[in-house]
Amino acid sequence: MMRTNKPKRRNLAVMSWRGALLVLTTVLTVRFGITSNRDWLQYRETTHLVEHTYQVMAAVEMLRSSVEDAETSQRGYLITGDQQYLTPYRAALSGTALSQSKLRRLMAGNPQQQARLAVLDQATATKLYELEQTIQLRNTSGLAAAVLQGQQEMNRIRRIADSFQEDEHRVLERSSEAEAQAVRSRARGGLSGLAILILLALATIAIERDTRKRIRMEEALRDSEEQFRQVFEESPSGILLIEEDQHVRRANPALCRLLGRTEEELQQLAHR
């Protein structure tokens, strides 16, 4: 009796190939999921940071604009003495207070920005006090006394506001870099997803091919068994099938007729 390990080795090779393909697909799927989740969190954080940055920039610009409007309206009153200039002046003071309140809310979680905001609030308060005092001087002492007040605090406010804007622009640059990285990561994630689909398609094709091959082999085996059974049963020559332990497994009808024994009797003789 001859034996061969080729079919077994071939089956092991096929199973190893399938296993490697399955492991690779699983690894890529898990990695794709982790990367997608990380990119989504990073995108949310970047979007929030960009939105916050623009809000800070807008509030700082509104504060500076409100103080400048107050100064312009105050100057108009100083020159003309017309009370109508005090209406936009008071409105600018209200806008300044709203901008300061908004900036405090936006910077509540940033100690560094809060410290700078305190300096800006101090400069703004000094400037507004100067404007109010100048108006009082205009009312009590005339134009000549009022125009002696300088521009030092307004320039200080502009410098602090500019420093806020510069910092926020740097934040936007970092956010743009982070967003570009997120775009690249999403592109890599898309390629990983495509690779997963290709691997799944290959695995499906391989399984389908192996299934069809197994079905053909089973059909061929059944046909072979049926042909062997017919040859065994109908052969005019005696055929004896013996197991490895020398026991009789089968005896065809021709051999039984030749020996004058039944198949069961031949099997029993072999066992003795």
Q: In this predicted structure, what is the pLDDT of residue 187?
A: 67
Does 149 reside within a domain? yes
Does 222 reside within a domain? no
Does 4 reside within a domain? no
**Which amino acid is residue 272, in one-letter code?**
R
pLDDT tens readout for residues 89-141:
899 999 999 998 998 888 888 888 888 888 888 888 888 888 888 888 778 87
**What are 82's two structure tokens?**
């017309």
User: Is pLDDT above 70 for 193?
Assistant: no
- pTM for the complete prediction? 0.49
Q: What is the rounded CA–CA span in Å between residue 67 and residue 58?
A: 14
Q: What is the rounded CA–CA span in Å between residue 63 and residue 67?
A: 6
Give the CATH number of the domain where residue 104 resides: 1.20.120
The total number of structural domains that make up the chain: 2
**Helices in the chain by DSSP H: which ranges?**
6-80, 86-106, 111-141, 143-146, 152-234, 253-259, 263-271
**Is residue 85 helix, strand or coil?**
helix
Please tell me whether residues 253 and 181 are part of one structural domain.
Answer: no
Q: In this predicted structure, what is the pLDDT of residue 6?
A: 46
- When pLDDT is cut at 50, 70 and 90, the band that residue 11 belongs to is low
Please tell me whether residues 173 and 261 are part of one structural domain.
Answer: no
Q: Of the candidates 89, 64, 55, 60, which has an alpha carbon nearest to the alpha carbon of residue 157?
A: 64
Q: What is the rounded CA–CA span in Å between residue 114 and residue 36?
A: 35
User: Is pLDDT above 80 for 250?
Assistant: yes
Question: For residues 54 and 201, is the Cβ–Cβ distance under 8 A?
Answer: no
Parent domain of 271: 236-272
Please tell me whether residues 181 and 269 are part of one structural domain.
Answer: no
Mean pLDDT of the chain: 75
pLDDT tens readout for residues 147-180:
655 455 667 777 877 877 787 777 767 666 666 6
Does 170 reside within a domain? yes
Does 221 reside within a domain? no
Please tell me whether residues 65 and 145 are part of one structural domain.
Answer: yes
Separation of CA 81 from chain center: 63
Question: For residues 68 and 94, is the Cβ–Cβ distance under 8 A?
Answer: no
Does 219 reside within a domain? no
